[in-house]
Chains A and B, each alone.
Chain A
Amino acid sequence: MTSEAVRDLMLYGMLMVSAAGFYAMFYALGRMWEKPSVVAFSYVFALLQAVGALGMILPPYLDPFWRYLIGFSSLVYLFVPQGMWWVVTTFHEKEHAH
């Protein structure tokens, strides 16, 4: 692999996961404060996360298997914040109702 390919893969990987984290953080904060604007802002990071994943998938650096794997995890990241928010709130409501 060329040095440019290694550099690009690393930077896109960094972008993908860190954006996924910021997406989760802002999404949860938005829901917590009940501010739709913050939730909307979090989608910017969801988009960046997808850009990071595409940056790893589109160039021909990796073999198909690894591209599928990254594509799959990118899709998962899109729904982690909503899914996790639902789990956390349902869980705590259920427990506190006891």
Chain B
Amino acid sequence: MEIGWIETTIGALFATVVLTLWLSRGSGWLEPRFWRNAAVVSSLIMSGILVYLTVDSVNQIREGSARVPAYTVINHEIGLKRDYEKRRDVPVIGEEVGFFGKVWSEAEAYALVNKGKMTLQSRNCMDCHTLLGNGAYFAPDLTRAWLDPKWEAMVMPMTGKATREEAMAEWLQHPDRYPTFARRMPNLRLTEEEAKALVAFLKWMSAIDTNGFPDRFAAAE
């Protein structure tokens, strides 16, 4: 039998009430003992459910799962498609097209994305941008940054680079040189290696199934 979240929730609340009443039999509900039991029971039951769901969630968001793709996804074409049954956009992983002119092995792709994540943290990206919607609000959300039309429409001509990844890497190294808005990203002295790694991280992140966030990105069809 499939146990959904509604059954879990109602079951947890029901168990909390029943167990509290059973433990507190003999005391009125305005007595401290009743609420002490309620506090202990509800904390234990809810923590227990959280631990159980965490085991399940962690398995579902492991890299290489259906929701969070393997790092080698950077070798592939990535897009978004409307899933009308689920009423949301889902990422679609297309054919192998390579990344910075080569196909990255599993180990190489891991090393690259890992470097990108380190770069992201070391430059405090989250204190201006949001990632998966979390962070600060001084700069655009990066969840689907790889898929943003502005790279092709504006940044590629501006930097004179032939591919999206090269244009992104160049822009990230000299954001102060290529303004797009009154607010310019400061030059955070990214090395070429770090910039490439960061582009890989962003490309990988754009293939994560985020339950449709942000909705209809770039009016995806």
Contacts and interface: CB of A to CB of B under 8 A. Distances in A.
Interface string B16-49: 0000000000000010000000000000000000
6 contacts: A1-B215, A65-B6, A87-B30, A90-B30, A91-B30, A94-B30
Nearest to B28: A94
A12 to B, nearest CB: 20
A90 B29 CA distance: 12
Q: Is the interface of B mostly helix, strand, loop or mixed?
A: loop
Ranked 6 nearest A-B pairs via Cβ: A91-B30, A94-B30, A90-B30, A1-B215, A87-B30, A65-B6
Interface in A42-69: 65
Interface string B196-221: 00000000000000000001000000
A3 to B, nearest CB: 11
Interface of A: 1, 65, 87, 90-91, 94
A92 to B, nearest CB: 10
Interface of B: 6, 30, 215
A84 to B, nearest CB: 13
Contacts of A1: 215
A65 B4 CA distance: 14
Nearest to B216: A1
Contacts of B215: 1
Contacts of A65: 6
A90 B30 CA distance: 9
A94 B30 CA distance: 9
A44 to B, nearest CB: 32
Contacts of A94: 30
A90 B31 CA distance: 12
Contacts of A91: 30
A32 B6 CA distance: 40
Nearest to A6: B215
Contacts of B30: 87, 90-91, 94
Contacts of B6: 65
A65 B6 CA distance: 10
A33 B6 CA distance: 43
Nearest to B31: A94
A1 B30 CA distance: 46
A65 B215 CA distance: 21
Contacts of A90: 30
A94 B6 CA distance: 39
Nearest to B29: A87
B217 to A, nearest CB: 15
